[in-house]
Amino acid sequence: MIHAHTRNCPICGDSARKLSFPYSTVFNGVPFHYCECRRCSSIFVDPVPDGSTFALMYAKANYHDVHYEKKEKAANSAYKESADLLAKFVNPGSLVLDYGCGTGGFLKALGSAGFVPFGVEFDADAAETAARHTGFKAISVESFNRLAEKPAFDVLHLGDVLEHLPDPAATLRELLGYLRHGGVLYVEGPLEINPSPVYLVAKSIGIIKRALHSRFSASHPPTHLFQVGEKQQSAFFKRIDPSLVQQFWRVSESGWPYIEGGRIKRIIAHIALRTGGLKIFGVTFGNRFQGLYIKK
């Protein structure tokens, strides 16, 4: 059974059929439930956090300082790899909208690779930090929405952003309107319910905890508003805009979050890293994806 008044799946639009791992969390005094979609089996959070909860979750001190700035060295390496990948498909000097730019790590990598970055971030303090630290244009989502005329971008990049959006389909369709014809959509993010030793172990432990304590609820902020596997994520892009033509697709493994845990968790994470990208019976193991599409 699921709780009453569930919203529809943000990935395919169908309804929920049951609660699923990680079941529920309480944040800012509000219970949030994780529902499994009846049609596509994606997991999504219900209800959508309100404005005050979003502001609390994504305040720079609560989110960017915790998840990014303290791991700057590893993040910079990943940003460089992402920018280098983009450079294989897009010419230097191209105008790149990094939607969800955080404090500017990827903006720096884009600039170093010869692109012209333009950053947009939900939190105004983070956007200001990005602009100050990189010297590139970076503004808040609110300021971006108020622009009377928006540039025609050559590239639209969303790195670990889609899963944070209440309505990812509507937001992506709007952003694609600012991408010129022949432009590139470049998306990176998690595949949290894709086959991976980390996910399989975490889900198994969660099922056991649920069986022993049916009313147990976590206390983490519901920052990821949906969880998908490779199949659901790929289908999402095809549904959003049939004119998008896939140029590149890769599934990999980060070992997150066990890679940051104790000895046993790190062992599981390293096993996951060895299996990342392997295809078994048509299913690719890994908890992250990168996709590049041309807008025809």
Question: Which tens digit of pLDDT belongs to each residue from 119-131?
Answer: 999 999 999 999 9
Given pLDDT bands bounded at 50, 70 and 90, which one contains residue 107? very high
pLDDT for residue 98 is more than 80: yes
Domains of the chain (ranges, CATH numbers): 16-59+195-227 (no CATH), 74-192+228-295 (3.40.50.150)
pLDDT for residue 71 is more than 60: no
Q: Looking at residue 62, what is its pLDDT?
A: 74
Q: What is the phi/psi pair of residue 286, to 5°?
A: 145, 155
pLDDT for residue 25 is more than 90: yes
- What tokens were used for 184? 């590139």
Average pLDDT over residues 55-77: 73
C-alpha to C-alpha distance for 144 and 140, rounded to whole angstroms: 6
The string of DSSP codes covering 227-256 is E--HHHHHHHHHHH-TTEEEEEEEEE---T
Which pTM was predicted? 0.93
Answer for the pair 156, 178: CB distance below 8 angstroms, yes or no: yes
Average pLDDT over residues 198-202: 97
Average pLDDT over residues 110-126: 96
pLDDT for residue 150 is more than 60: yes
Answer for the pair 254, 68: CB distance below 8 angstroms, yes or no: no
Q: What is the mean pLDDT of the chain?
A: 93
3-state secondary structure 79-93: HHHHHHHHHCCCCCC
Q: Looking at residue 75, what is its pLDDT?
A: 75
pLDDT for residue 244 is more than 90: yes
Average pLDDT over residues 146-171: 96
Given pLDDT bands bounded at 50, 70 and 90, which one contains residue 281? confident
Given CA atoms 270, 213, 14, 9 in this order, what sign does their dihedral have?
Answer: negative
82-94 pLDDT per residue, tens: 999 999 999 999 9
Answer for the pair 106, 83: CB distance below 8 angstroms, yes or no: yes
3-state secondary structure 108-128: HHHHHCCCEEEEEECCHHHHH
In DSSP terms, 292 is beta-bridged to 186, 248
